Structure 1
Amino acid sequence: MNSYSAVNSYASVKVHSGVESASPHRLIQMLFEGALERIAQAKGAIAQKQFARKGELIGKAAAIVGGLQGSLNDNEGGELAANLDSLYDYIIRRLTQANYENNIEHLDECARLLGEIKSAWDAIAKDV
């Protein structure tokens, strides 16, 4: 087993064990962390001209954002849920555009937006 495979195996076990014991609030935090990590990795892949890897990572980030979007409760969330739905839709479109154009600035914008939402979500943990 090469070192890359070993690291991936360790990361997979770490994530699975973290998910099993996480609260619903922590699971959402983990989704934000995963999306931000994939975006950062995609920026590195663009810099290294690893375009296939970049596409894979941006696809994973978009899927995570889609999962966040799908977890919104329209009935109880009201205007906040509607605004987040629109924002997540925008982020997915910008990620797609970043993938197509190899545009790091679009990735930075997506990371900034997700980071702001994550910060708000993290602040909730202190109140819960």
Structure 2
Amino acid sequence: MFQSNGYGAMGGAKMRYQTVDVASQVEGASPHRLVGILFEELMKATEIMLAAMRAGNRAKMIDKQARAANILLALETSLDFRNGGEIALNLARVYRESRRLVQLGGRTNDPAQVETARGYLSEIVDAWEQIG
């Protein structure tokens, strides 16, 4: 018997598969790759959040909003302020502002806020990929 999780039986199976897929990527990954995985998951969460907002799917929007906010918090708290200097401080500001925009966008149902956050973040993601 399937449990209802708001995604239907197939959606639940897909979610479990994606969780296993992410877990397998994380296992044995370098610290640089781990941050890359967080960025990928963050961008995916905000993309799905925007689609859910536009489709009027509040439950999915809230789920992806929480995921994005949690990833942003994890990125911010993993910064090394002692060795990272000004770069770490600037990244913390961007992560904090992006988290605020994602939360505000969800609360006010304003996709523009989330799109602004995605714009800030895509620059960091692009730079991170150039390093890797």
Instruction: Provide, for residues 50-92 of structure 1, a one-character-per-residue CA deviation record: whole Å limited to 9, x for no partner.
Output: 1122112111101101100011000000111111111111111
**Identity over the aligned pairs, expressed in percent?**
31
Separation of aligned partners in 2, 1:68 and 1:87: 10
Instruction: Provide, for residues 20-78 of structure 1, a one-character-per-residue CA deviation record: whole Å limited to 9, x for no partner.
Output: 02111011011011111011111111111111221121111011011000110000001
Corresponding residue for residue 74 of structure 1: 81
Corresponding residue for residue 17 of structure 2: 10
Q: Superposition pairs for residues 84-123 of structure 1, below 5 Å? A: 84-123=91-130
Equivalent position amino acid for 1:89 in 2: R
RMSD: 1.1
For residue 32 of structure 2, the aligned residue among 25, 29, 34 is: 25
How many residue pairs get matched?
Answer: 125
Equivalent position amino acid for 2:102 in 1: L
Separation of aligned partners in 2, 1:87 and 1:4: 33
SS of structure 2 residue aligned to 1:21: coil
- Consecutive unaligned residues of structure 2, counting only runs of 5 or more, are 3-8
Separation of aligned partners in 2, 1:5 and 1:82: 39
Corresponding residue for residue 5 of structure 2: none
Segment of structure 1 superposing worse, 60-69 or 7-16: 7-16
- Consecutive unaligned residues of structure 1, counting only runs of 5 or more, are none
Separation of aligned partners in 2, 1:50 and 1:6: 19
